[in-house]
Structure 1
Amino acid sequence: MSEIADRYRRRADAFERKVVSVRPDQWSHPSPCAKWTARDVVRHIVDMHAVMLRPLGRSLSPAPTVDDDPVAAFRAARADVEATLDDPALATLPCDTPTGTMPAQQHIDQVVSDDLPLHGWDLARATSQDDTIDPEDVERAWSAMRALPAELMDKFRTPGAFGPGIEVFGPEMQVEQDASAQDKLLAFIGRDPRWRP
């Protein structure tokens, strides 16, 4: 198993545990993402799995919708992405992405895999679960964010820059100088670490 596939599985496992732990009455709870409920957070993640497959000429396998069964919808979507990562021919296939051409596995690693810990925080915070992000993922994301050129970061913060209705990051929030690494990362991407439902 490649390092990318292993990292994706670890993050998907953590996200799935949160999805499974949501009580039926919590799916309509607001999330730290403005305009999104807890269910919408899972819907976004499932939709992004479909986006990862599109450059390969593939789509998600038939499965229950997020409205009908969020757990089954996520499990089916992750199975499709894992099958891609486990197939060397597919994993290394060059894909055209908004940030350039790269192998499919790198696209998955930089987009949906990196999204899982951050949106896992959103889902956990919306549904009163443990919202601790794996310190390894915090450090990895923080290093990657700080290495982004300013013009690309500006594009990430511009609503619609990657398509209608797509907003990658919000405006940077202010946190205390001695805030935790997790809180600094969340603030950098536009989340309020103090947000509560």
Structure 2
Amino acid sequence: MSGIAGRYRRRAGEFERKVAGVRPEQWGNQSPCAKWSARDVVDHVVMMHGVMLRPVGRTLEAANDPLTAFRQARAAVEAVLADPELSAQLCETPTGQMTVEDQIDQVVSDDLVLHGWDLARATGQDETMDPVDVERLWTSTSAIPADVIEKYRTPDAFGPGIEVFGAEVPVPADAPLQDRLLGYIGRQP
């Protein structure tokens, strides 16, 4: 198993535990993403898994239950990551050409951490992110050039209804790294 596949598997397991921890009456709870409920967070994550599968000609089957939908999406992505030929295929992305494996790592795998926090916050679960993930995400996110960050913060820059980051939320310079990361991407820690 590659480092990317292992990282995805670990993060997907943590996200799945959060999805499984949502009580039925919590699906409508407001998430830290202004336009999304807890259910919308999971729907977005599942939808993005489907986007990652398109370059290799795969699709997801619809499921009404958020946990079932995520489990199916997870299994489909893990199957791609387990196939060296599929995971090595090149695909076009908004940031340029890369392998399917790298796109999964940089998009949905990272989303599992950040949206896992959103889901935890919306449903009263443990909001603590893995410190290794926080460090990795801080390093990659804070290295994004200012002009690209501005595009990430601009609603609809990547298509209708797509906003990658919100406006930066100021946090103290000596705040824990998780809080600084969350503030940087537009979340109120």
Asked whether the equivalents of residues 63 and 72 of structure 1 are also in contact (C-alpha less than 8 Å), the reply is: no
Q: Identify the match of residue 78 of structure 1 among 74, 78, 96.
A: 74
| 2:177 maps to which of 165, 176, 181 | 181
- For 1:143, the equivalent position in structure 2 comes to 139
Counterpart-to-counterpart distance in 1, 2:93 and 2:141: 18
**Aligned counterparts of 1:7 and 1:138: Cα–Cα separation in 2:** 13
Identity %, equivalent residues:
65
Q: TM-score, normalised by structure 1?
A: 0.94
Match of residue 32 from structure 1: 32
Give SS of 1:130's match: coil
Q: Distance in 1 between matches of 2:37 and 2:156?
A: 20
Q: Deviations over 1:45-72 (max 9, x none)?
A: 0000011111222211x241xxx31100
* Residue correspondence of structure 1 range 1-197 to structure 2 within 5 A: 1-60=1-60, 62-64=61-63, 68-193=64-189
C-alpha RMSD over aligned residues: 0.8
- The one-letter code sitting in structure 2 at the alignment partner of 1:175 is V
Q: Which amino acid aligns with 2:45?
A: I
| Per-residue CA distance 1:15-38 (angstroms, 9 max, x = gap) | 000000000010010000001100
Deviates more, 1:49-58 or 1:180-189: 49-58
User: TM-score of the superposition, structure 2-length normalised?
Assistant: 0.98
SS where residue 31 of structure 1 aligns? coil
Unmatched runs of 5 consecutive residues or more in structure 2: none
Q: How many Å separate the matches in 2 of 1:146 and 1:121?
A: 19
Letter in 1 for 2:100: A
Q: Which runs of 5+ in 1 are unaligned?
A: none
Contact 1:29-1:127 at 8 Å conserved across structures: yes
Distance, in Å, in 1 between the alignment partners of 2:155 and 2:55 is 23
Q: Name the count of aligned residue pairs.
A: 189
**In structure 1, how many angstroms separate the alpha carbons of the residues matched to 2:173 and 2:93?**
36
Q: The residue matched to 1:95 in structure 2 has which SS?
A: strand
**3-state DSSP of counterpart to 1:175:** coil
